[in-house]
Structure 1
Amino acid sequence: MTSTPLDRRSFLRTAAIAGGALLVPAAIAATASADAAPQFAHGVASGDPLPDGVLLWTRVTPTSDSLPGSGQGPTVDVRWDVATDSGFGSIVRSGVVTTGPERDHTVKVDVAGLSPATTYYYRFTLDGATSSIGRTRTAPAPDAAVAGLRMGLVSCANWQGGYFGSYRHLAARTDLDAILHVGDYLYEYQVGGYGARDKTIRPHVPEHEIVTLTDYRQRHAQYKTDPDVQALHALHPWLITWDDHEYANDTWSDGAQNHQPDTEGPWSARKAAAQQAYSEWMPVRLGPGNTIYRTVRWGRLAEFSLLDLRSYRSKQVTAIEGGMDDPSRTITGDAQMEWLKGGLASSPAQWKLVGNSVMITPIAVTGLAAVVMQALGDLLGIPIGGVASNADAWDGYTADRTELLSHIADNNIQNTVFLTGDIHTSWAANVPVQKGGAAVATEFVTPSVTSDNIDDILNIPPRTGSLAVEAILRGYNPHVKLVELDSHGYSVVDVNAQRVQADWYYLNDRTSPTTGVKYSTSMAVASGTHSIQKAGTRL
């Protein structure tokens, strides 16, 4: 977490004792949505920090008809300010951005000329109305000796499945540098299409499954009205990549399981609509052709490789159908694979952190009852009967996985850690090139914020029937050091020179807007090893 030789955690603790130093971020979280002007109803956000800059985001509603997705409203000029203090007595950068209905009145500013490893505050102004104040932080200089990095790790936040207590509890922490979101920021389903054990806790807007540009814009807007979403965005820069539900379930390069061309039109139009809305509404830099895979450095300590495992992948197959080992099939695409291998091999950072939307650890399952296999299949793409494999994850694209992991092994690339979401459950594993082989990397998987997991799908009480399933999974997969199939929540990941540690926190009740949270467990991998061990001290 520290990004200068001074230990920032120690500084914050000392400042808190001295009195009131932590009140500014707490106030930002508390007022992110409550006191915002109606012109800024969707909050503020920042993302993709660089040593000399950061991306800032907001959305304005200049007139009553300028509603998300409406295509209505005037073109307006929005002022932005960046300061070193929350009172904006020391403004260091400012400017004006023009926006209008052609980009759904969203505002994105790629601010440059900032100092490395520095906390900044930002705001937007329109016609005398001011947004809530955001806080962000630039990355350390590439050659900086960084003592630590601490971040929240989240995935799979389904509006209809409950409330985003994970975001609220992360926003209450004062020790985070960033938020890593590895996909399924929103869901495409219609009202009643996917909730919490088939119950809709909060209905989606629009009511139908989203397909058009207007639909995707309105759904993004709805998620950005959530107070916990706004609070966490306002406090920290986010590093984000997409998974499938930003488009449709089980997306691949030319379609999706949840897309029917006969009634929903060509996939190319839906994909373009989803990507345009995402580009407008998310604090993320997209490259030419909406390329989202990218690298973010955190001094000499860590480098993030943020992947896109949907845009270029081959259509999923199952173990029963065959072809999962076909070398002509890909999950990354050739260009991204070469970029990833080259980046891992050449990175000067001690830790190579891979923002990975779907699980890379090989998982095998036999001997489970058919009903359990079906539940696992709902999450993992596992066919019933025979050898089970995670068809929608890297298990369904074994040639690509072997190529990547063999590259890591052959080039003696140390300290590669995959940080993953997608499957709504908690895992920690040593990652071998082949099942039963020596590990060459490690993986930490965060649970869903709200989306259903095993006990929900089976409609059984949590921590009952799932316990036997977890035992079988560990038995057939000795490289798996943690598996927990029931709980919803988030992870906190801490990086220093000695190790990477992940802590799991679980919500008491995802369907309650005031849910509490409980700490579960801590796992860590020491530098120079590929062996996850239970950590003795929580973050």
Structure 2
Amino acid sequence: MDSKTRHILDLSRRGLLRGAVGMAALAVLAPAPRGARAQSGHQGYPFALGVASGEPAPDGFVIWTRLAPDPLAADGGMAPLPVPVAWEVAEDPGFTRVAAQGTAAARPELGHSVHVEVAGLAPARPYFYRFRLGAEASRVGRARTSPAPGTRPARLRFAFAGCQHYEQGLFTAWDRIADEPDLDFVFHYGDYIYEQRGRMPGQPGWGTRVRPHIGGETVSLADYRQRYAQYRIDPALQAAHAAHPFLPSYDDHEVENNWAGAHSEKDGGARHPVAVPPEVFALRKAAAFQAWYEHMPVRRTALPRGADIIAYRRLDFGTLARVNVLDTRQFRDDQPCGDRSGAACAEVSRPDAQMLGPTQEAWLLGGMANSPARWNLLAQQVPMMRRLLRGDGIAVDKWDGYPAARQRLLDGIAERRTPNPVVLSGDVHVALAATLGREPDAMDSRAVAVEFTATSVSSGGDGAVMTPAGEDALWRNPHMALYHAQRGYCVSEATPDRMVTEYVALPFVTREGAPRETAAKLVVENGRAAIGLG
């Protein structure tokens, strides 16, 4: 291990002390003696990638870690053997009241990742968890169970964020999210990693460069594992995962920029003249999906089968909120118009266009028809709102490129009279808010839903409050209530009467210490698909 990598890992270890889980928990984080470390059979701290929880249910959640004593080395520095890892869940950070415990196998076939589906816990309360390997202990994480079925909690508080290009900015937003109080979950809408090769200063490429990716473009499973490890050793990201349960999804960069269904971005067009056949691209998807699963706190139902994965799912938080986590990449058609944004080509008008695919679309509308929830969230990736660009063009990689699929969904919501549908999205590296009319192209269409789009954590580097593109967007899209181009994330709080969404902005991400600022607070009242000021 070179000195630079060792320095990064040292910073990661110091970052374990953040997150404030109590003085009793801090004792667990102290480095083990050298003798104890030797007895564990591994050189290096095995929990260097941190811990995470996710998928809250009324009786439990998933807890995650991955053994990687040398995170950036092949296989994380682990031998190709299964390793038993002990785990504990307690009611207190000092682990004096243990609620569940056991042993799980960290298997080499899954990169020595551990996914424990904890059950048998009490609803609507926080818990603390940790892992042990020999004399080594992980940091302490905090998880939370969801409310019991049929109950209506007084509130639901959650954050949503994504688009975290490692090269283009620091993960200060994750530090700020770690400090957010009382979050029931964090929805990560995708672009957890970026697949592009590392660039040296002065090399051509997209965006700023604050710190380098290691290695080339990710193609193999080993490539993706190393890229996730590089992101996961970031102290701010580790702190956020340890502080709150996550609901992770993926967008394009977990695999390849602008991939769609079976189709690579490299389709033989002018930008990529050497096409990648679908059967070859499936090999890359299989590697990418396996690495995503290995590094996310998700249930075994998301374990990929080669190039196929079922990552869409539904979680209820009592009768206050239903969260539909969607997949807008795997089942969509290839982008129309050769994936070139601008004036809509004839292909955009296809009546059978698919964004979610028939099975996921039917599943979603079925859940919207019988939902007992006051708020029905569509947690997905790319903006659903109608978004005219300069020259009245459209971005064909978003829902604008699939208007027939969007129309079926909006019609289904309206016909089923789904209570308070709220769309959460990201991808475009700016903060947006808009109402969604049942007929998006009609200026006077009745709104049936609202959409909140979070900006990026770091992608794009330092941003601006307003840009010429933003001024143009607000002028061309009167249904749009907000445009803000700094980095950050969103925090929403839902009660039976209203949902308030705060747009948190960071004035810079190319250096440390950016303060938490409020760009806007927007309100949706129960029963009204309209956006007001908070």
Q: SS where residue 348 of structure 2 aligns?
A: coil
**How far, CA to CA, are the matches of 1:204 and 1:25 in structure 2?**
31
Contact 2:19–2:179 (CA<8 Å) still a contact in 1? no
Q: How far off its partner does 1:327 sit?
A: 1.9
Q: Determine the structure 2 residue equivalent to 1:471.
A: 471
Contact 1:166–1:490 (CA<8 Å) still a contact in 2? yes
| Equivalent residues in 2 for 1:337-348, closer than 5 Å | 337-348=361-372
**How far, CA to CA, are the matches of 1:399 and 1:65 in structure 2?**
44
Q: How far off its partner does 1:78 sit?
A: 0.3
| Equivalent residues in 2 for 1:64-143, closer than 5 Å | 67-68=74-75, 72-143=79-150
Q: Determine the structure 2 residue equivalent to 1:510.
A: 509
Q: Determine the structure 1 residue equivalent to 2:327.
A: 308
Q: Determine the structure 2 residue equivalent to 1:251.
A: 259
Aligned AA for 1:474?
A: L
Q: Does 1:204 align with 2:213?
A: yes
| Equivalent residues in 2 for 1:245-394, closer than 5 Å | 245-257=253-265, 266-285=280-299, 286-287=301-302, 289-318=308-337, 319-367=343-391, 387-394=392-399
Q: SS where residue 513 of structure 1 aligns?
A: coil
Q: Any idea what the Cα deviations from partners look like across 1:176-211, whole Å, max 9, x if unmatched?
A: 221111111111011129999733211112x20000
Q: Any idea what the Cα deviations from partners look like across 1:436-494, whole Å, max 9, x if unmatched?
A: 211100000100001118x86xxxxx346x1x43333222211111112x211111111
Q: Any idea what the Cα deviations from partners look like across 1:126-153, whole Å, max 9, x if unmatched?
A: 0111000011000111211210011111
Q: How far off its partner does 1:72 sit?
A: 3.6
**How far, CA to CA, are the matches of 1:179 and 1:416 in structure 2?**
19
Q: Determine the structure 2 residue equivalent to 1:13.
A: none
Q: Determine the structure 1 residue equivalent to 2:532.
A: 533
Q: Does 1:226 align with 2:234?
A: yes
Q: Determine the structure 2 residue equivalent to 1:498.
A: 497
**How far, CA to CA, are the matches of 1:297 and 1:99 in structure 2?**
30
Contact 1:75–1:101 (CA<8 Å) still a contact in 2? yes
Superposition TM-score, scaled by structure 2 size? 0.85
Aligned AA for 2:397?
A: D
Contact 2:491–2:503 (CA<8 Å) still a contact in 1? yes
Aligned AA for 1:393?
A: K
Aligned AA for 1:199?
A: T
**How far, CA to CA, are the matches of 2:166 and 2:24 in structure 1?**
23
- CA spacing shift, 1:512–1:196, aligned 2, 3 Å: farther
Contact 2:67–2:76 (CA<8 Å) still a contact in 1? no
Q: How far off its partner does 1:70 sit?
A: 6.5
Q: How far off its partner does 1:292 sit?
A: 0.4
Q: How far off its partner does 1:114 sit?
A: 1.0
What percent of counterpart residues are identical? Answer: 36
Contact 1:53–1:111 (CA<8 Å) still a contact in 2? yes
Q: SS where residue 239 of structure 1 aligns?
A: strand
Superposition TM-score, scaled by structure 1 size? 0.84
Q: SS where residue 405 of structure 2 aligns?
A: helix
Contact 2:25–2:140 (CA<8 Å) still a contact in 1? no
Q: Any idea what the Cα deviations from partners look like across 1:61-114, whole Å, max 9, x if unmatched?
A: 368997536674432110001111111111111111112321111111011111
Q: Determine the structure 2 residue equivalent to 1:399.
A: 404
**How far, CA to CA, are the matches of 1:29 and 1:513 in structure 2?**
27
Q: Does 1:430 align with 2:427?
A: no
Q: SS where residue 38 of structure 1 aligns?
A: coil
**How far, CA to CA, are the matches of 1:294 and 1:123 in structure 2?**
26
Contact 1:156–1:451 (CA<8 Å) still a contact in 2? yes
Contact 2:369–2:416 (CA<8 Å) still a contact in 1? yes
Q: How many residues align?
A: 485
- CA spacing shift, 1:391–1:63, aligned 2, 3 Å: closer
Q: How far off its partner does 1:267 sit?
A: 0.4
Q: Determine the structure 2 residue equivalent to 1:157.
A: 164
**How far, CA to CA, are the matches of 2:432 and 2:91 in structure 1?**
39
Q: SS where residue 39 of structure 1 aligns?
A: coil
**How far, CA to CA, are the matches of 1:496 and 1:504 in structure 2?**
18
Contact 2:24–2:94 (CA<8 Å) still a contact in 1? no
Contact 2:328–2:381 (CA<8 Å) still a contact in 1? yes
- CA spacing shift, 1:182–1:27, aligned 2, 3 Å: farther
**How far, CA to CA, are the matches of 2:302 and 2:242 in structure 1?**
24
**How far, CA to CA, are the matches of 2:516 and 2:205 in structure 1?**
18
Contact 1:162–1:196 (CA<8 Å) still a contact in 2? no
**How far, CA to CA, are the matches of 2:27 and 2:356 in structure 1?**
40
**How far, CA to CA, are the matches of 1:439 and 1:480 in structure 2?**
12
Q: SS where residue 309 of structure 1 aligns?
A: coil
Q: How far off its partner does 1:47 sit?
A: 0.4
How large is the Cα RMSD of the aligned pairs?
2.7
Q: SS where residue 176 of structure 2 aligns?
A: helix
- CA spacing shift, 1:214–1:32, aligned 2, 3 Å: farther
Question: Which consecutive segments of 4 or more residues in structure 1 shift more than 3 A?
Answer: 22-37, 61-74, 193-199, 258-265, 286-289, 318-321
Q: How far off its partner does 1:418 sit?
A: 0.3
Q: Does 1:179 align with 2:203?
A: no
Q: SS where residue 170 of structure 2 aligns?
A: coil
Q: SS where residue 105 of structure 2 aligns?
A: strand
**How far, CA to CA, are the matches of 1:409 and 1:69 in structure 2?**
50
**How far, CA to CA, are the matches of 1:199 and 1:24 in structure 2?**
33
Contact 2:157–2:185 (CA<8 Å) still a contact in 1? yes
Instruction: Give the counterpart of 2:425 among 420, 428, 433.
Output: 420
**How far, CA to CA, are the matches of 1:31 and 1:365 in structure 2?**
54
Q: Any idea what the Cα deviations from partners look like across 1:264-323, whole Å, max 9, x if unmatched?
A: 981000000001111111111244752000001101100000000000110001344321
Q: Determine the structure 2 residue equivalent to 1:17.
A: none
- CA spacing shift, 1:173–1:366, aligned 2, 3 Å: closer
- CA spacing shift, 1:29–1:225, aligned 2, 3 Å: farther
